[in-house]
Amino acid sequence: MNEAENKKTAKILNEKTIEQNFLSSRDYKYGFVTDIETDRIPEGLNENVIRLISEKKKEPSWMCEWRLKAYRHWLTMAEPHWPNFEYGPIDYQAISYYNAPKKAPKHKSLNDVDPELLKTFDKLGIPLTEQKRLSGVAVDAVFDSVSVGTTHQSELEKVGIIFCSMSEAIRSHPELVKKYLGSVVPYSDNFFAALNAAVFSDGSFCYIPRGVRSPLELSTYFRINAADSGQFERTLIVAEDNSFVSYLEGCTAPTRDENQLHAAVVELIAMDHAEIKYSTVQNWYSGDKEGKGGIYNFVTKRGKCAGAHSKISWTQVEAGAAITWKYPSCILQGDHSIGEFYSVALTNHRMQADTGTKMIHIGKNTRSTIVSKGISTDESNNNYRGLVKIMPTADRARNYSQCDSMLVGNKCRANTFPYIEVKNNSAVLEHEASTSKINADQIFYLLSRGLDMEGAVSLIINGFCKEVFKELPMEFAVEAVKLLEMKLEGSVG
Amino acid sequence: MIEIKNLHAQVGGIEILKGINLKINAGEVHAIMGPNGSGKSTLAKVIAGHPDYEVTKGEIIYDVNFKKINILELAPEERAREGIFMAFQYPVEIPGVNTSVFLRAAFNEICKHQGAEEMDPIDFDLYIRKKMKLLNMDDKFITRPVNVDFSGGEKKRNEILQMAVLNPRFSVLDETDSGLDIDSMRIVADGVNKLKTKDNATLLITHYQRLLNYIVPDYVHILRHGKIIKSQGKELALEVEEKGYDWLS
Amino acid sequence: MFQTHGIPTVKNEEWKYTSLEPLEKNIFELVKDNKLADRSALFEYCNPQEINIVFVNGIFSADLSNLKNIPSGIIHCPLQEAVAKDLPKIKEFLTKYDPSQKTPFAALNEALNSDGLYIRADQNTACKELIHIVHVTSASRRNSASMPRTLMVLEKSSEATVLESHLSFDDKAVYFANALTDIFLDENATLHYCKSQKESQNAFHIGQTRVWQERNSNFDGFSFMAGGALTRNDLDVVINGEGASANLNALYNMSTTQHVDNHTSVDHRVPNGTSNQLYKGILNQAARGVFNGKIFVRPVAQKTNSYQLNKNLLLGKDCRVDTKPQLEIFADDVKCTHGATIGQLDEDQMFYLQTRCIPSKIARRMLAQGFVDDLFSKIKNESIHHKLDKLVQPSFQALE
């Protein structure tokens, strides 16, 4: 099947799953729990727990050592509270750091995976088996602490692309992992990155060799299922010279009254003329109307444009999680490299989001673009925080930033905190930001043309976010729109 | 007065002009027509000396005091002082810089260059008002910052005012008719006609034949893919209007 | 309070981009001497015919001041006297601010200032004359410190124009000026206020102006900063009455290794307020500019219109700029925009001027001057306009 056909089929399949999953339900559709036997390390965190995780994953000793170093460093760090939101103390000893479905040792064929798990991913709209799988997208499915399967691996192998779970990569490609793991986000980077480095249980690894354009979209689907556990995954993508990959990430979790911690790390490395496009649709459980429950989404995502003319583009639709704290960033080291950040962050109920990006210009003629759209409704708190830094070496750097916030309802908050630091006089930067209410004239106009309130609002929000949605792969864009519509239901009236 | 010889120019590594040859004598009006992307505006910018355009081959020979010089060796302001004027397709807005202050500075640069005495603000005010009267323009043009909050038509008229004040020998009008309604076009064309003498020459760059009803050219040249593919009298413009550009290639 | 908190460090978010280490290295001493050696330079800057209230080293000088033309309806006296006599509005005003929000430098000023100025415009007074408050530091004493302190009260429906200048005529003088100005605008009052700072190239200037606005009042503010080795200028406005509007415009023009840090905060506490900010900076050589603007819109402050823009022109090879325009919005029916631009002279404008015979050196000056004039055109008072223009000219002449 050629690429175009692949895409078409994927789109049809996705639209179908969207219908099933979004249109049929007004509530959080993914709130169900899969009843499955698990191999679980009891709550608590100490060096033995870390050794046990490493042992269970049959890791080489260097990996275990790295984890322990990270853990020891973590012990010296304090939980950050500078973002503009409040959260109660997290008891790191009350979290189970390893939860794997018992019947999930790596299977030769995805058809052999525990049917209960396959059913779960079917229900999430991510069928994994040979017969049903999405044809244009290769999926690595992560359930709690482990990857339960990766589709299309053989197809990708043919062009030399390595796409597998992190655990597998540590075993079968240790030289690559050793070289790049922690090279963009060192374990000492911040509190949650250090914690992740110590306890990460799985995640995805992709390696695109020189000159290869990935024929498929690569994607990872993250599912938290177990109670009192956290998910700590790590993703590493390396794109060699002249390669291209588009990577997608989706996340959901069951409805629970307790907060659960998700502390992930994503590292991207792009060499000369390589391009990585990383898209996220984040829909963790966000808690109920009163703010009870929901995922704490504390994530460190960073890409390094190591090579000349390389490009890293982040696109995110953040619509879930009780608290989101993430700044997908680009280190623009190679001359002429390009960093992009496109974001839609929607908060409702009592969600809190503090998200944005950092663009660090080091190389000459580096360019960055930031487009951030925040929508806050109900009693939520939505913050954009960004840093654009032009280092003395970055001659003729360019940045354009646009941060718009829309307020729907009079109990929500929207804040903008852009930091711009320029240490080179040939830089040209432009930053624009606005905050306003949803436009009443536009709503009235649409109502007078026969649309109902929700239809009108959804149309306006769509227009507001268009610049970001157009960066998403087609099938994701459709999903994102439906997701926002669902989230906004009941917020306007 | 001016002769363009085998002119090749590129921008951002892409060759736009691929060997232009054109000779214009004093007292003549020439028009260059061509479809979008044929290189018309590039030619205007190269004549004026825009730094983004790189000349890779050829020369532009211009008569200065009975001597022939290659103007490609001159900075933009040096060309302007020798009497080369370009009316911009998109005149630039300069907030905070008053039009009459700006024009007096420009005018006095020419005086200095010609060894003449510079004009003081009061004399210059009289001089500029005379020019404005000639072109039927009101005071707001000189009391406001350069081109700021001017309509498209006003900006183009301001270009013609500058032409009148600086009194060039060779003028290039880059799509001066674009975006003008019929009244503004008549005013602009009137201005150009009034400024025409036997000692100066004009090069009109235009997309449509419309302007040529008001400013009648002596020669019409068709530019396509960076080369002049046909030159003829004013009747060529009408032919192009009727048949388009495709029959020429 | 200053003793408990001491001098803030860069770890303090409010001082993130400005290190006070150079200030700490010096020991400053308050002086009691208000003699000025060079009177001619002073009178070249401020017209002796105008209303001038002159302080030398922080101490009032009757000798240099001109109080003859102060119209009726304008009351002025030493601040300490006004407090002692408990003049109307004084107590009311002095209790408006939350003491815990006070900056260490404001606390220092209040503790050490001995000769403050109190100005009041009575109800319905419309004072057309410029009131010029001049703070000049004489070069005769090394490492002197002064604590300029002003309190202005504009009663209902009054109007006044005030220029507050901070100067020195010796660019080598090392001193520390820590200024604090409080402005209270009652209903319908209008104040045209300009703070002009041209301290010595080696001076430290830390200044704060706090503005409190009641219903339908109008604050038309302009800040000009061109001197000082290190300048920190805070302008904090509280919109506390519906329909009030505030304009905060500023120009900072720095060269050599000068450092300027501008902080603004506009706190919209009531509905229907308007605020506009335009801060422009020109940085030459290795100068460093900082801008941090905050707009707060409280939950009740519906229908707020707030605009903020910071534009920086980088002309120096080693200049630096850090800008942080921030919005904190807690109300939904608002329109707030902010922006920042950083760049060089526009290449298209340069080319346009060159095609009109103007050589690049003059074109650069013209465009830099245009960048400034666009802003100066917002100053309504001719005399202020003229004074600032004179202060800024030398820097254009120096442009290459």
Q: Assign C2 a pLDDT band (cuts: 50, 70, 90).
A: low
3-state SS track over chain B: CEEEEEEEEEECCEEEEEEEEEEECCCCEEEEECCCCCCHHHHHHHHHCCCCEEEEEEEEEEEECCEEEEHHHCCHHHHHHCCEEEECCCCCCEEEEEHHHHHHHHHHHHHHHCCCCCCCHHHHHHHHHHHHHHCCCCCHHHHCEECCCCCHHHHHHHHHHHHHHHCCCEEEEECCCCCCCHHHHHHHHHHHHHHCCCCCEEEEEECCCHHHHCCCCCEEEEEECCEEEEEECCHHHHHHHHHCCHHHC
Query: Is B169 an interface residue toward C (CB < 8 Å)?
Result: no
Most confident range (mean pLDDT) of A101-115, A361-375, B193-207 is A361-375
Structure tokens at A439: 């436009």
pLDDT digits (tens, 9 = 90+) for B63-77: 998 899 999 999 999
DSSP C66: B
Residue C378 lies in a domain: no
Q: Do A437 and C315 touch (CB under 8 A)?
A: no
Higher pLDDT pick, C96 / C185: C185
Q: Do C355 and B80 touch (CB under 8 A)?
A: yes
Q: What per-residue confidence (pLDDT) applies to A112? A: 67
Q: What per-residue confidence (pLDDT) applies to A81? A: 83
Lowest-pLDDT range of A258-272, A277-291, C280-294: A277-291
Strand partners for B9:
B17, B55
In a 10 Å sphere around its CB, with 0-12 CB exposed, 13-18 middle and 19+ buried, how is residue A440 labelled?
Answer: exposed
Q: Mean per-residue pLDDT for A195-218? A: 92
Domain count, chain B: 1
Structure tokens at A95: 């979290």
Residue C364 lies in a domain: no
CA distances from C145 to C38, C141, C173, C203 (A): 19, 10, 12, 10
Q: Do C327 and A414 touch (CB under 8 A)?
A: yes
Q: Assign C21 a pLDDT band (cuts: 50, 70, 90).
A: confident
Which long-range contacts link B36-40 to residues 24+ away (Cβ below 8 Å)?
Answer: B36/B207, B38/B223, B38/B224, B38/B225, B38/B226, B39/B223, B39/B225, B39/B226, B40/B174, B40/B175, B40/B205, B40/B207, B40/B223
Touching subunits of C (3+ CB pairs, under 8 Å) are A, B
Q: Which of C357, C364, C396 to mutate to test the interface with B (most CBs of B within 10 A)?
A: C357
Q: Note whether C157 and C105 are within 8 A (CB).
A: no
Instruction: Report which of A400, A343, A401, A408 is spatially closest to residue A375, judged by C-alpha positions.
Output: A408
High-pLDDT (> 70) share of chain A, %: 90
pLDDT digits (tens, 9 = 90+) for B214-229: 999 999 999 999 999 9
Place of tokens 């302001």: B77
Q: Mean per-residue pLDDT for A406-434? A: 92
Q: Mean per-residue pLDDT for C86-113? A: 84
A2, pLDDT greater than 60: no
CA distances from C306 to C134, C191, C330 (A): 32, 19, 13
Strand order from edge to edge, sheet including B227-232: B84-87, B170-174, B201-206, B29-33, B219-224, B227-232
The range of the structural domain enclosing residue C300 comes to: 2-345
- The CA distance from C383 to the nearest CA of chain B, in Å, is 19
Q: What per-residue confidence (pLDDT) applies to A219? A: 86
Q: Mean per-residue pLDDT for A10-25? A: 35
Q: What per-residue confidence (pLDDT) applies to C22? A: 86
Instruction: Report which of C313, C193, C206 is spatially closest to residue C260, judged by C-alpha positions.
Output: C206
Euclidean distance between CA atoms A386 and A330, whole angstroms: 12
Tell me which chain B residues have a C-beta less than 8 angstroms from the C-beta of C370. Answer: 94-97, 145
DSSP string, A386-399: EEEEE-TT-TT-EE
Q: Do C354 and B88 touch (CB under 8 A)?
A: no
pLDDT digits (tens, 9 = 90+) for C150-165: 999 999 999 999 999 9
3-state secondary structure of C94: helix
A155, pLDDT greater than 90: no
A270, pLDDT greater than 80: yes
Tell me which chain B residues have a C-beta less than 8 angstroms from the C-beta of C360. Answer: 75, 77
- The CA distance from C109 to the nearest CA of chain A, in Å, is 30
A11, pLDDT greater than 80: no
Phi, psi of C371, deg, nearest 5 = -60, -40
Q: Note whether C50 and C70 are within 8 A (CB).
A: no
Q: Assign A24 a pLDDT band (cuts: 50, 70, 90).
A: very low
Looking at A37-190, list the stretches that DSSP marks H as alpha helix, in order from N- to C-terminal side: 47-56, 61-75, 115-123, 153-158, 166-172, 174-180
C204, pLDDT greater than 60: yes
- The CA distance from B206 to the nearest CA of chain C, in Å, is 20
Higher pLDDT pick, A224 / C293: C293
Q: Mean per-residue pLDDT for C270-281? A: 97
The bridge status of strand B219-224 relative to strand A244-252 is unpaired
Q: What per-residue confidence (pLDDT) applies to A133? A: 66
Higher pLDDT pick, C97 / B85: B85
Domain ranges of chain A: 1-28+438-493, 31-326
Q: Mean per-residue pLDDT for A65-71? A: 96
Q: Note whether A421 and A392 are within 8 A (CB).
A: no
Query: Is B217 an interface residue toward C (CB < 8 Å)?
Result: no
Lowest-pLDDT range of A58-67, A408-417, B131-140: B131-140
Q: Do B94 and C353 touch (CB under 8 A)?
A: yes
Structure tokens at A58: 């049959």
Lowest-pLDDT range of A82-96, A102-116, B160-174, C78-92: A102-116
The bridge status of strand C335-343 relative to strand C305-314 is parallel
Euclidean distance between CA atoms A308 and B199, whole angstroms: 55
DSSP A299: E
Residue A205 CA to chain centroid, in angstroms?
Answer: 14
Which CATH number goes with the domain that contains B48? 3.40.50.300
Tell me which chain A residues have a C-beta less than 8 angstroms from the C-beta of C312. Answer: 422
Most confident range (mean pLDDT) of C6-15, C87-96, C124-133 is C124-133
Q: Mean per-residue pLDDT for B42-54? A: 93
Q: Mean per-residue pLDDT for C210-220? A: 97
B38, pLDDT greater than 80: yes
Domain count, chain C: 1
Q: Mean per-residue pLDDT for C52-66? A: 94
- The CA distance from B71 to the nearest CA of chain C, in Å, is 13
A252 membership: H or E segment, kind and range? strand A244-252
Q: What per-residue confidence (pLDDT) applies to B248? A: 74
A21, pLDDT greater than 80: no
Q: What per-residue confidence (pLDDT) applies to A9? A: 39
High-pLDDT (> 90) share of chain C, %: 76
pTM of the model: 0.87
Q: What per-residue confidence (pLDDT) applies to B168? A: 94
Tell me which chain B residues have a C-beta less than 8 angstroms from the C-beta of C358. Answer: 77, 102, 105-106, 109
Q: What per-residue confidence (pLDDT) applies to C231? A: 97
Q: Assign A87 a pLDDT band (cuts: 50, 70, 90).
A: confident
Euclidean distance between CA atoms C105 and C110, whole angstroms: 9
Structure tokens at A428: 């040209």
In a 10 Å sphere around its CB, with 0-12 CB exposed, 13-18 middle and 19+ buried, how is residue A410 labelled?
Answer: middle
Q: Mean per-residue pLDDT for C295-322? A: 94
A1, pLDDT greater than 60: no
A385, pLDDT greater than 60: yes
pLDDT digits (tens, 9 = 90+) for A449-472: 878 877 788 788 888 998 998 898
A108, pLDDT greater than 60: no
Higher pLDDT pick, A117 / A80: A80
Q: What per-residue confidence (pLDDT) applies to A122? A: 76
Residue A6 CA to chain centroid, in angstroms?
Answer: 24
Euclidean distance between CA atoms C30 and C146, whole angstroms: 6
Beta-carbon neighbour count of residue B154 at 10 Å? 17
Euclidean distance between CA atoms A14 and A18, whole angstroms: 6
Q: Mean per-residue pLDDT for A475-492? A: 74
Most confident range (mean pLDDT) of A35-44, A438-447, C367-376 is C367-376
Q: What per-residue confidence (pLDDT) applies to A130? A: 63
Chain C residues 16-35 within an 8 A CB cutoff of chain A: 17
Euclidean distance between CA atoms B1 and B124, whole angstroms: 29
A58 membership: H or E segment, kind and range? none
Lowest-pLDDT range of A82-91, A262-271, A313-322, B41-50: A82-91
Q: Assign A99 a pLDDT band (cuts: 50, 70, 90).
A: confident
Q: What per-residue confidence (pLDDT) applies to C91? A: 81
Euclidean distance between CA atoms B174 and B172, whole angstroms: 6
The range of the structural domain enclosing residue B204 comes to: 2-248
Beta-carbon neighbour count of residue C207 at 10 Å? 27
Place of tokens 């990857």: A147
Tell me which chain C residues have a C-beta less than 8 angstroms from the C-beta of B51. Answer: 347, 351
pLDDT digits (tens, 9 = 90+) for C41-52: 999 999 999 999
Q: What per-residue confidence (pLDDT) applies to A359? A: 97
Place of tokens 């409704």: A377
Q: Do C375 and B88 touch (CB under 8 A)?
A: no
High-pLDDT (> 90) share of chain A, %: 49
Structure tokens at A195: 């914690």
Query: Is C285 an interface residue toward A (CB < 8 Å)?
Result: no
Place of tokens 């998200």: A355
Per-chain mean pLDDT for chain C? 92
Phi, psi of B66, deg, nearest 5 = 65, 10
C348, pLDDT greater than 80: yes
Reported ipTM: the value is: 0.88
3-state secondary structure of C368: helix
Beta-carbon neighbour count of residue A136 at 10 Å? 23
Q: Do B76 and C355 touch (CB under 8 A)?
A: yes
